[in-house]
Structure 1
Amino acid sequence: MIRRFQQVLLDFLFFDVDDLKKITPEQLAADVRMSCAMVVVLHDETCVSSWCRFEWKEAESAGIPILCIVDAHHVCRTTVLEQVKRCSSHLMVHQWVSYIDAYRHDASIRITDWLHEHALQN
């Protein structure tokens, strides 16, 4: 799923796993702060990641909006929602997108529209 979005948004995307040769908190913070928006793909282990929580905190302090996508084929949305409520309220600001293979086109449109809206604002 992530790779599909990366291909669609190739010239519009900073993808932390691929774009950073050596990940340091300083470099990651700088890259997050240069973003106009953040898309987070959530599963049941995302909130456990200290790197993810660090990125979300940086985005919140910089006023960067975050759109969450839940991989609804592989995780229970309610479980992920409860985890996110405990670790970052900033991820609760915008309505989440549920990604399901049967509705992937609709999800892609919602994500693209959201990104365009927030890119134009910033």
Structure 2
Amino acid sequence: MEITTRTHKDVTVIEVEGDVDLSTSPRMRAAILEGFKRKEGRVLVDLTYVRHIDSSGLATLVEGLQLANRGGGRFAICGVENTVRDVFAIAHLGDVFDIYQDQNQAFSSL
């Protein structure tokens, strides 16, 4: 799994590529935690190039949402496609997160 982190205006963008599973989700978690250390507290996780996500990856995303809710920040996800979308649906998480089609759509709402 590859993670690229950058800032767009006041949003920390975490672009994830590859599989998010038990062995890789701690790296995504670290990136999310680092994003919330910024004063803006706005984090966008881009899953466009994620092929597979398991329950540990979902738990990491839920933790990010909880951090945002506790700290008054914002947490959103974009690029949820195909297999990953199916996993969100099976876990009944599709309505829990702010999910956007792409980064541009997310930026207009965050």
Q: TM-score per shorter chain, which class?
A: 0.3 to 0.5
Q: Whose helix fraction is larger, Structure 1's or Structure 2's?
A: 1
Q: Whose strand fraction is larger, Structure 1's or Structure 2's?
A: 2
TM-score using structure 2 length: 0.47
Give the greater-gyration-radius structure (CA). 1
